[in-house]
Structure 1
């Protein structure tokens, strides 16, 4: 892990920063260090070196916040501040986050821990933090004005509470929420079970779903947008900038995610069925867990699923809303599929050399094109793998299952080497017979009657008069 503060790694570090202005608590004049992280790559899990044992989580394109022990209290320090985040190579955004990144670092602790979290505000306006899903004293819940004063710019507040249940949670502001969350202020909070054997897995991944509307050439999100987002992100990254989930063959794997966008997301993983194991409401009883290959997560919800990685390969994982696997997508583009633009293209090329018409045969051609783009934006679909363009963007990544990985090896192993005879291939045999087609209006076969019939109206004969015996009025609801 690369952290800017030397000596503050693990659970036993005792480095103390200079005294800060801690609101109302002179006893806490010495606050813990506030480590920062500038890298956008997945950092190795922060394995505990003292205290209860647990399997630490790997934050996708993120990291876990180190802490110090101060008596019975596990102390963390979050700094709310403007940050610069690379969404994917070629595009950066000016966001708000915590400790150098958006989303902020993951907080990990154990059921029963007493946590003290120092929050320093380096934003140009007031803020708070709400601990989403946690049971705690009402005055620590973080709703500005309701449960606590807002944290003014330049001030540090302290949150103290005991973790009463294990599970999957998150944190985010409840102060000027529309702006601050739209600017990227959020983070993950994992509480591990007190019993190290309870629902334990070999690899545990976490990430948050968030979204931005960033116009090409600009860097700051449009915070007033409600529905028309063009950057659908996992941990403020879009494909191909999203790291893969690297797991060893036969590892038991858990993937946890929370949704802080403005719509729901059906997350689908290829190659496996999985069991839904946890929500922000708590653990799902194993007897009640159900098998899925896609799980929907609504706004403000957390979901987790488990599977055993017994199928080698590079397995796609993505949101199944098709527009959410695209980057910088303009939703007001007209549909030209089936429209020939050859003659028009020739005329336009005379006054605009290099002009290329697009969309007549679908948009897949964009995946292999490397065209000039406006400053600080991304292609709508991009990314290459061993067989060519992937034609994806946004909320898309790959679960890479490999044999022989070391326990803490999360490095990208490259593309999967397929065994001989296991890749789909082009058929080059004798010409195939025409496939049978359903008879219908456009099939070239005799047409069937596709018209909707209203049983309340009489059937008419060739002369336009009602046929004898036909009903001429009335209808039944039964």
Structure 2
């Protein structure tokens, strides 16, 4: 099995360095099937030949190596059951590709001819649809329509020319409800053949996916339509989603694909940005529009770009508040404003460890270490330099620093705000403030506001 250390240095056009034993004995003509057994972000070196481009960085993921066979780039995808660490302390039993969900990113260049071997190690037939790509009908990957489903134990070949650059996705179009709910999806990036077209210094990939996994269990509930309880990026949950590390002055692209069952308004703090690409193609400069949030529809991709000229640690997250929570309990009652002290005293006679939650909101869940079932993570978690961040799910941090090397994506730690650039407590006199004086306005009784709070 290929680990992160072995993969570093395996760049575009380099020979693959690993093969599973079953592949050597039964499929001697196949490209080797690289695997990844780590949830770390793997950095791919720049290409050593052919058109130059900035390799993409798949957060907590990696790029699939290829071999050259004449003028054809050959890849080997293996559809199989996998175990994915969603976060420290929680592993999901999923279906994916090459040892991981989401699957490895495929990178190539506009004008390339690619040959993709797809081996099925699932218990049922599968296929691969190349979402958004222009290709022959028989290569489109819709089981029963484009071609027969790939039976278990068999290998099919997809072969086509990459006629346009952009951001695309791949996923099954066979028993799609089950196979996508189990985590089968990935990115297919086609770089422009002209290195001067849409260049960036850093290029990040985020695949939005979601699961419904009951606390203490491992396998997703595949029949769920809307009430998912785990919202992930690249099948990873905050605080274990890697940060987006950039050097001050870098031009940065963030590509976000959505293969969940709902839309996601992606919001980034500290910056405005321009939307430069959809899964339909590049947006011409005259048509690019500024945003600080961009809604990603179901089955779609949006890419945006900005120049990293503001130092700091900047939140990036889905703006649906429940999508930055983990292990959501949709039937949990609301106790805000309820005095639970008498009830707590009675319960503690039988359960001394009982902790009341929710009387003043749910922020205390970010501090307390409540007992949880095995293979479960708290609803909100993650600590920053000033206390609990009280987030989970679809959340990470863009870390902009001076002096970050071109190939350095390591976490630089927390940003130290310069003097005078951090909010602080005020203990002096307060200015007068006004309130709505309409007789129709009703107020909840509140204590008098003083300079001492």
TM-score surpassing 0.5?
Answer: yes
Asked whether the equivalents of residues 10 and 45 of structure 2 are also in contact (C-alpha less than 8 Å), the reply is no
SS state at 1:351 partner: coil
How far is 1:53 from its partner? 1.1
Which aligned pairs between 1:146-165 and structure 2 lie closer than 5 A? 146-165=145-164
| 1:278 corresponds to 2:297 | no
How far is 1:8 from its partner? 5.9
Distance 1:16 1:87 in 2: 25
Counterpart of 2:13 in structure 1 is 11
How far is 1:356 from its partner? 1.6
Distance 1:333 1:32, change over 3 A: same
If you compute each CA radius of gyration, which structure gives the higher value, 1 or 2? Answer: 1
Number of aligned residue pairs: 438
How far is 1:298 from its partner? 0.6
TM-score, normalised via structure 1 length? 0.89
- The runs of 5 or more residues in structure 1 that have no matched partner are 23-28, 446-478
Distance 2:155 2:203 in 1: 32
Distance 2:344 2:10 in 1: 61
- 364-373 or 114-123: which moved more? 364-373
SS state at 1:139 partner: helix
How far is 1:348 from its partner? 1.5
| 1:442 corresponds to 2:447 | no
Asked whether the equivalents of residues 7 and 13 of structure 1 are also in contact (C-alpha less than 8 Å), the reply is no
Distance 1:272 1:6 in 2: 32
Distance 1:374 1:291 in 2: 44
SS state at 2:365 partner: helix
Counterpart of 1:265 in structure 2 is 264
User: After superposition, what is the alpha-carbon deviation per residue over 1:409-454, rounded to whole angstroms, capped at 9, x for unaligned?
Assistant: 0000000011111110000113x25521102432499xxxxxxxxx
Counterpart of 2:29 in structure 1 is 30
Asked whether the equivalents of residues 21 and 156 of structure 1 are also in contact (C-alpha less than 8 Å), the reply is no
Distance 1:444 1:293, change over 3 A: closer
> After TM superposition, what 4+ stretches of structure 1 lie above 3 angstroms from structure 2?
3-10, 14-22
Asked whether the equivalents of residues 8 and 67 of structure 1 are also in contact (C-alpha less than 8 Å), the reply is no
Counterpart of 1:124 in structure 2 is 123
SS state at 2:51 partner: coil
- 75-84 or 348-357: which moved more? 348-357
Distance 2:196 2:144 in 1: 41
How far is 1:19 from its partner? 6.1
| 1:416 corresponds to 2:415 | yes
Counterpart of 1:331 in structure 2 is 330
SS state at 2:75 partner: strand
Distance 1:444 1:144, change over 3 A: closer
Distance 1:45 1:15 in 2: 15
- The runs of 5 or more residues in structure 2 that have no matched partner are 446-453
What is the alpha-carbon root mean square deviation over aligned residues? Answer: 1.8
User: After superposition, what is the alpha-carbon deviation per residue over 1:161-190, rounded to whole angstroms, capped at 9, x for unaligned?
Assistant: 000000000000001100000000000000
User: After superposition, what is the alpha-carbon deviation per residue over 1:205-249, rounded to whole angstroms, capped at 9, x for unaligned?
Assistant: 012100000001100000110011010000000110111000000
Which aligned pairs between 1:113-192 and structure 2 lie closer than 5 A? 113-192=112-191
Distance 1:114 1:102 in 2: 26
Distance 1:429 1:76, change over 3 A: same
Counterpart of 1:289 in structure 2 is 288
Distance 1:278 1:248, change over 3 A: same
How far is 1:12 from its partner? 3.4
Distance 2:444 2:94 in 1: 57
Which aligned pairs between 1:391-406 and structure 2 lie closer than 5 A? 391-406=390-405
SS state at 1:287 partner: helix
Distance 2:15 2:381 in 1: 43
User: After superposition, what is the alpha-carbon deviation per residue over 1:440-478, rounded to whole angstroms, capped at 9, x for unaligned?
Assistant: 432499xxxxxxxxxxxxxxxxxxxxxxxxxxxxxxxxx
Counterpart of 2:69 in structure 1 is 70
Counterpart of 1:448 in structure 2 is none
Which aligned pairs between 1:198-213 and structure 2 lie closer than 5 A? 198-213=197-212
SS state at 2:287 partner: coil
Asked whether the equivalents of residues 208 and 234 of structure 1 are also in contact (C-alpha less than 8 Å), the reply is yes
Asked whether the equivalents of residues 5 and 36 of structure 1 are also in contact (C-alpha less than 8 Å), the reply is no
